[in-house]
Amino acid sequence: MDKDLLSIQEARDKADQAYQAWLQWSKASQQEVDRVCQAMADAAYEASERLGVLAAEETGFGISAHKKLKNQFGSRNVWESIKDIKTVGVIAHDERKKIYEIAWPMGVIAALIPSTNPTSTVMFKTLIAVKARDAIVHAPHPSAIRCCNETAQVMADAAERAGAPRGLVACLQNVSLPATQELMHHKRVALILATGGTPMVRAAHSVGKPAYGVGPGNVPVYVDRSADLEKAARYIVASKAFDCSTICATEQSVLPDRPIAARLKQLMQQEGAYFCNEEQTNALRGALFHPDASINTATVGKTADFVAAYAGFSVPPGTKVLVAPIASVGKDEYLAHEKLTTVLAWHEVNGWEEGCDASISMIQFGGRGHTQIIYAEDEKVIMAFGLEKPVFRILVNTMGSLGAIGLTTGLMPSLTLGSGGVGGAITGDNITVYHMYNVKRLAYALQVPPLAEINAAPVTNAASETLDASEIEKIVREIVTEVLRK
């Protein structure tokens, strides 16, 4: 059979099977739901290392040990954050307003999975969907089919052993663009949960169904003169190097305040940052981007020494990230765009106001609504950044890669980060179980309706007359006669 036809049929079959499983699962008790989710989280956590190795080998992106950490986060941390949330029956009661809130599952969810964080995203999306009493069918990126299927199978097997119906958790094995489109458009799919590049997110939003779509980030890092520079240098380098910068909230450009720029550079060098000269920076510009400013995928998720060699120069052993000084941060400067690899742009600014303007400039042409990072001790500067930036995560004195997803901050643990209306998404939240169900409201009467006003006789307008039936009939006859005459 033609590969596309085969993949389309698989998408139809798995959507139908998921729907049948959901019909049963939608009636599950809270105890049953939590037992199944706990089993899935445990199984995924135990397989974190193996699945991390599989993801790194299949995609060629990142570092397997770092993917193991992301898998542990996508299983245990995510589950810990949602396990005590009620998702069945009455979930809240307002005694004063006499309203009961009742959870109502969405149904079958189509989950689009990126190649940069494949296994951890499958874990995360599966847990929040099943916790909300939904079924889920994953559509992986073509370069991550095997690792996504293995992850989904680990969780599906655990779910079934714990009492879930077969087909509740599924993953496409024959992946194609027509199959993903078929899955999203399938009549049984109620919600699309898309994580990935801009084309994928646009496709999800164009289906005409409810969709949570989150795309790329272009995260600027402003380092103020009031910052703890040792911490800033340590965190920026470690975060950018983490899994070779494959998390969308990872730092993309450093904007150091001029009075502390030289010291920050020195400290970052001590942490393993290599600052490029003008010739090397030009080489990186050509290596990382195509002439139309699109990313060269050959450099995505690669180590610093690999990227340097690809660009035609060498770096000292132990180099973790490459830093490319740039003179401007406008759209025409390709290195000011998102770089899904171990390369940081470096642009010095004079004061927090200039840092604010530069940040906004980069956010506006890439990563609107996503994330901003600031290192500072001056609370006035921190709050100014919080109030001014068109993003929905402003991280203070922490890593971008691990802070935005909720590992080093109090944000909700998530691997799908909303970019809000300014970023073309329906929400700016870290997507979690709350977004996977609807809420019905049982509302009791609070006051007696104004029956006297409702039952009052209609008042005839003195300026007009009410026509009786004979008069209406006469007018109609005249109109018909005139039409027939013409």
> What confidence category does residue 257 fall into, taking pLDDT thresholds of 50, 70 and 90?
very high
Residue 40 belongs to domain spanning = 3-215+432-440
Distance CA 309, CA 301 (A): 14
Q: What tens digit of pLDDT does each residue of 264-304 get?
A: 999 999 999 999 999 999 999 999 999 998 999 999 999 99
Both 210 and 254 in a single domain? Answer: no
Distance CA 339, CA 326 (A): 14
Indicate whether 460 pLDDT > 70. Answer: no
Position 321 in a domain: yes
Residue whose tokens read 């499958």: 122
- pLDDT at residue number 39: 98
Indicate whether 54 pLDDT > 80. Answer: yes
- How many structural domains is the chain composed of? 2
Distance CA 218, CA 249 (A): 8
Both 62 and 194 in a single domain? Answer: yes
- pLDDT at residue number 162: 98
- pLDDT at residue number 264: 98
- pLDDT at residue number 459: 65
Position 415 in a domain: no
8 Å CB contact between 15 and 108: yes
Indicate whether 65 pLDDT > 60. Answer: yes
- pLDDT at residue number 201: 75
Indicate whether 366 pLDDT > 60. Answer: yes
CB neighbour class for 282 (10 Å; exposed up to 12, middle 13-18, buried from 19): middle
Mean pLDDT of 389-400: 94
Indicate whether 47 pLDDT > 60. Answer: yes
Both 63 and 207 in a single domain? Answer: yes
CA distances from 109 to 138, 176, 319, 484 (A): 8, 18, 42, 59
Percent of the chain exceeding pLDDT 90 equals: 82
Both 48 and 180 in a single domain? Answer: yes
- pLDDT at residue number 130: 98
More confident residue, 419 or 65: 65
Position 478 in a domain: no
Q: What tens digit of pLDDT does each residue of 153-178 get?
A: 999 999 999 999 999 999 999 999 99
CA 420 and chain centroid, separation: 10
- pLDDT at residue number 347: 97
Element housing 374 (H / E): strand 369-375
Both 188 and 236 in a single domain? Answer: no
Residue whose tokens read 């951890």: 120
Position 484 in a domain: no
Both 202 and 268 in a single domain? Answer: no
> What confidence category does residue 461 fall into, taking pLDDT thresholds of 50, 70 and 90?
low
CA distances from 374 to 20, 139, 171, 265, 381 (A): 48, 35, 39, 16, 9
8 Å CB contact between 127 and 40: yes
Position 43 in a domain: yes
> What confidence category does residue 404 fall into, taking pLDDT thresholds of 50, 70 and 90?
very high
Length of the chain: 486
CATH of the domain at 195: 3.40.605.10
Distance CA 17, CA 160 (A): 14
Both 295 and 179 in a single domain? Answer: no
8 Å CB contact between 401 and 447: no
- pLDDT at residue number 419: 87
Indicate whether 464 pLDDT > 60. Answer: no
- Of the candidates 97, 58, 393, the residue with the CA atom closest to the CA atom of residue 221: 393
Position 453 in a domain: no
- pLDDT at residue number 189: 97
Indicate whether 55 pLDDT > 90. Answer: yes
Is 276 in the active site?
A: no
Distance CA 128, CA 326 (A): 41
Helix and strand element counts for the chain (H, E): 18, 15
Both 82 and 195 in a single domain? Answer: yes
Position 338 in a domain: yes
Q: What tens digit of pLDDT does each residue of 93-140 get?
A: 999 999 999 999 999 999 999 999 999 999 999 999 999 999 999 999
Q: What tens digit of pLDDT does each residue of 204-232 get?
A: 888 889 999 876 789 999 999 999 999 99
- pLDDT at residue number 481: 77
Both 209 and 243 in a single domain? Answer: no
Indicate whether 426 pLDDT > 90. Answer: no
Catalytic residue among 148, 248, 276, 356: 248
Position 426 in a domain: no
Last residue of a domain, one of 406, 423, 448: 406
Both 357 and 291 in a single domain? Answer: yes
Q: What tens digit of pLDDT does each residue of 428-449 get?
A: 999 999 999 999 999 999 999 8
pTM: 0.90
CATH of the domain at 262: 3.40.309.10
Q: Is the dihedral of CA 1, 180, 53, 78 positive or negative?
A: negative
Q: In whole angstroms, how large is the CA radius of gyration of the chain? A: 28
Both 164 and 38 in a single domain? Answer: yes
Both 183 and 237 in a single domain? Answer: no
8 Å CB contact between 171 and 152: yes
Mean pLDDT of 363-382: 92
- pLDDT at residue number 466: 59
The angle at the Cα of 301, spanning 300 to 306, to the nearest 5 degrees, equals 85
